[in-house]
């Protein structure tokens, strides 16, 4: 059975599965409208959160992380560089030996 969005009264399709909030199924674009006035669409009003607290929660969800510095000890960086160099030689030497055998 196809679900109907309670906000826009349109069918919720397979490619746009929508969001289920409690027992109410809505399109992803209709979620903000439902949250603005949930009683109008058969939901329950939020209690205990003032609008300012709700805005703070929204801002916390939107915040991301910016990586500005990586603190690595020199010894570990040097060791990884040596391992990379040795692994490259292990792969390159047999490759060049096979090429020289084919060409000569």
d(CA 73, CA 6): 57
Q: What are 61's two structure tokens?
A: 């969800």
Burial 60-77, CB ≥16 within 10 A → b, else e: eeeeeeeeeeeeeeeeee
For the chain, the domains span 3-48, 73-104
> pTM for this one?
0.37
Tokens of 19: 């969001």
pLDDT in tens, the chain (104 residues): 467 777 787 777 766 667 777 777 777 778 777 777 777 767 666 655 555 666 666 656 666 677 788 888 999 999 999 999 999 999 999 999 999 999 98
Q: Do β-strands 11-12 and 24-26 pair in parallel, antiparallel, or remain unpaired? A: unpaired
């Amino acid at each position: 059975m196809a679900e109907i969005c309670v906000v826009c009264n349109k069918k919720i399709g397979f490619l746009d599965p929508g969001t289920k909030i409690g027992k109410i199924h809505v399109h992803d674009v209709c979620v903000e409208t439902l949250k603005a006035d949930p009683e109008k669409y058969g939901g329950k009003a939020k209690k205990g959160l003032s609008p300012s607290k709700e805005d703070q929660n929204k801002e916390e969800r939107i915040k991301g992380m910016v990586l500005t510095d990586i603190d690595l000890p020199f010894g570990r960086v040097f060791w990884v560089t040596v391992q990379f160099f040795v692994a490259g030689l292990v792969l390159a030497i047999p490759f060049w030996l096979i090429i020289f055998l084919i060409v000569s």
